[in-house]
């Protein structure tokens, strides 16, 4: 969330590295006069202030959705006022409705993914995985690598935030007084989560945004499978910091002390339904050429029907007997509360969804004013696509990856498949450079009771930066055919 803005061109260049929205406004609807008017400057300053507050979330404990939501309201109020005074109110209304439509598609897609993740959590899938890792009697180095690799492999399916919270919780509880191991383990989990989320459309909100936009690059469409070209570059971005931190780990073995946990009835079937929902979304998008969100919402109905079955066949356990019966039972059984899919919907991360709304509408407004078109010309026409994509990746360490990727999608430069994948990789892995660069880092800092901090992460930033550029170089070499 960078700060400055004096001359118009400097302000626009800064905005290109800090902002985000769903789509660039139609050139016919831009208000070039407003870009040089005090109302345009006020709109830009409002958004920069909101992004600054988001970047300070760790210190202010101020949820990130609040500043960007009020920013969206202020920016569109200024646009509305200017549009009314210049006789262009209909165009402003059309533009804000376009931004709302595109945000709604993304929100519903994320909502389904989060609902499935919450359902898997309610069925104790993640607690079971964590307990099995905990009780394997690993050494510090064994747990470090097991947790990192598990996070890297889970992120493509669960998204980077959920994966980091799941595995990070194990790091935090297994050795609560070992500050050194917790710090290194959490950094490893954050880097692994962001790297793993970069090569799958469902691995990170930013990757999902790129896939959902149905981008037609200059050398072909960016389809679901295109993102898996980033697997090896993302793996490099994870392995280099992990190998460096391996040398700093304490020696010795852990004493396992986690209670055994058994998954509840239906857990494995919900995993299969989740994969079926993803397959349906890919089918709608890749074969039927319809929005992926329609397929994903169809996939939510699978969970609804199965949830109805679980509810009707529920066998409640007596209070106090639950854990003993679950451990003794040869098959997974239910807990005391029947499964309810709408409870799972209600427990999604609404702060994240409202944050994306605020970012989308704020920068939708700035794009309508005309700032994003100028930023695109400066960065992608004058600097070149590769330099611009590397820059926005570095910016995501400060600005968070969601606003940064929204800015690229707002500018919508004409790029090859390789360049779009470079933007995805750089924004995803660039968020690992600082603890505040991704939701995974912010969430683990909040839960670590001071054992994992901004400054403990900062000590390893040079190594993570080396891995960032190494991953980019591997992508440029390995996927040269896509450029």
Going by pLDDT thresholds of 50, 70 and 90, the confidence category of residue 140 is confident
Per-residue pLDDT at 10:
32
Nearest partner of 79 among 26, 43, 51, 27, judged by Cα: 43
Mean pLDDT of 53-77: 80
Structure tokens at 123: 């069925």
Across the chain, what does the average pLDDT equal? Answer: 77
Structure tokens at 205: 């909100």
196 pLDDT higher than 60: yes
Q: Percent of the chain having pLDDT more than 70?
A: 82
Per-residue pLDDT at 3:
33
Mean pLDDT of 357-379: 79
Q: Percent of the chain having pLDDT more than 90?
A: 12
- Residue count of the chain: 483
Mean pLDDT of 192-206: 84
pLDDT in tens, 311-322: 888 776 544 444
Mean pLDDT of 360-381: 78
Give the CA dihedral 411, 210, 429, 58, nearest 10 degrees. 80
409 pLDDT higher than 50: yes
Going by pLDDT thresholds of 50, 70 and 90, the confidence category of residue 371 is confident
Q: What backbone torsions phi and psi does residue 334 show, to the nearest 5 degrees?
A: -90, 165
String of DSSP letters for 249-312: SPPSB----PPP--PPTTHHHHHHHHHHHHHHHHHHHHTS-S-HHHHHHHHHHHHHHHHHHHHH
Mean pLDDT of 436-451: 73
More confident residue, 476 or 353: 476
pLDDT in tens, 165-176: 777 777 776 766
Q: Is 87 left (phi over 0), alpha (psi -120 to 50) or beta?
A: left
Mean pLDDT of 99-112: 79
467 pLDDT higher than 90: yes
The answer to whether 456 and 434 have CB atoms below 8 angstroms apart is: no
Mean pLDDT of 74-99: 85
Consecutive H or E run containing 217: strand 216-217
Mean pLDDT of 382-390: 87
Going by pLDDT thresholds of 50, 70 and 90, the confidence category of residue 18 is very low
pLDDT in tens, 146-160: 888 988 988 887 777
Going by pLDDT thresholds of 50, 70 and 90, the confidence category of residue 12 is very low
* Identity of the highest mean pLDDT range in 123-127, 263-267, 434-438, 472-476: 472-476
More confident residue, 340 or 420: 420
25 pLDDT higher than 50: no
The three-point CA angle 408-457-162 to 5° equals 60
87 pLDDT higher than 70: yes
Nearest partner of 155 among 206, 215, 226, 104, judged by Cα: 206
More confident residue, 402 or 10: 402
Going by pLDDT thresholds of 50, 70 and 90, the confidence category of residue 335 is low
pLDDT in tens, 252-298: 766 656 677 788 888 889 889 988 888 888 788 777 878 878 888 89
Query: Is the pTM above the cut of 0.85?
Result: no
Per-residue pLDDT at 13:
36
Per-residue pLDDT at 254:
65
* Identity of the highest mean pLDDT range in 218-222, 336-340, 429-433: 429-433
Consecutive H or E run containing 221: strand 220-221
Residues of the chain by 3-state class (helix, strand, coil), percent to 5: 75, 0, 25
């Amino acid at each position: 969330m960078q700060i400055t803005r004096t001359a118009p061109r400097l302000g626009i260049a800064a905005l290109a590295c800090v902002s985000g929205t769903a789509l660039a406004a139609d050139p016919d609807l831009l208000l070039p006069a407003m870009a040089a008017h005090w109302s345009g400057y006020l709109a830009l300053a409002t958004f920069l202030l909101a992004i600054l507050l988001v970047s300070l979330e760790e210190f202010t404990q101020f949820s990130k959705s609040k500043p960007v939501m009020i920013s969206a309201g202020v920016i569109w109020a200024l646009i509305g006022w200017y549009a009314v005074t210049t006789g262009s109110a209909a165009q402003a209304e059309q533009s804000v409705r376009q931004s709302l439509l595109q945000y709604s598609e993304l929100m519903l897609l994320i909502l389904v993914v989060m609902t499935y993740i919450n359902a898997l959590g309610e069925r104790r899938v993640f607690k079971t995985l964590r307990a099995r890792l905990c009780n394997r009697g690993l050494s510090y180095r064994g747990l470090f690598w097991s947790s990192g690799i598990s996070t890297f492999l889970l992120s493509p399916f669960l998204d980077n935030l959920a994966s980091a919270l799941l595995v990070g919780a194990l790091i935090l509880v297994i050795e609560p007084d070992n500050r050194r191991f917790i710090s290194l383990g959490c950094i490893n989990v954050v880097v692994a989560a962001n790297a793993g989320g970069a090569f799958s459309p469902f691995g990170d909100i930013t990757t999902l945004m790129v896939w959902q936009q149905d981008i037609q690059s200059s050398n072909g469409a960016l389809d679901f499978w295109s993102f898996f070209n980033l697997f090896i570059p993302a793996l490099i971005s994870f392995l280099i910091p992990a190998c460096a931190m391996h040398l700093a780990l304490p020696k010795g073995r852990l004493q396992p002390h986690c209670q055994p946990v058994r998954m509840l009835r239906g857990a494995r079937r919900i995993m299969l339904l989740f994969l079926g929902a993803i397959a349906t979304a890919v089918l709608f998008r890749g074969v039927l050429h319809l929005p992926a969100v329609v397929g994903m919402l169809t996939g939510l109905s699978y969970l609804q029907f199965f949830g109805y079955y679980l509810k009707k066949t529920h066998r409640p356990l007596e209070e106090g007997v639950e854990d003993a019966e679950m451990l003794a039972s040869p098959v997974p059984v239910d807990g005391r509360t029947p499964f309810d899919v709408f409870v799972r919907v209600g427990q999604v991360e609404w702060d994240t969804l409202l944050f994306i709304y605020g970012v989308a509408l704020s920068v939708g407004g700035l794009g309508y004013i005309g700032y994003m078109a100028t930023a695109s010309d400066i960065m992608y026409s004058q600097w070149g696509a590769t330099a611009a994509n590397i820059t926005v990746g570095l910016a995501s360490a400060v600005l968070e990856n969601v606003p940064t990727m929204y800015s690229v999608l707002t500018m919508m430069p004409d790029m090859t498949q390789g360049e779009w994948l470079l933007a995805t990789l750089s924004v995803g892995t660039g968020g690992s450079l600082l603890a505040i660069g991704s939701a995974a880092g912010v969430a683990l800092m909040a839960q670590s009771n001071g054992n994992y901090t901004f400054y403990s992460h900062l000590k390893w930033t040079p190594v993570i930066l080396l891995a960032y550029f190494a991953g980019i170089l591997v992508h440029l070499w390995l996927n040269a055919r896509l450029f």
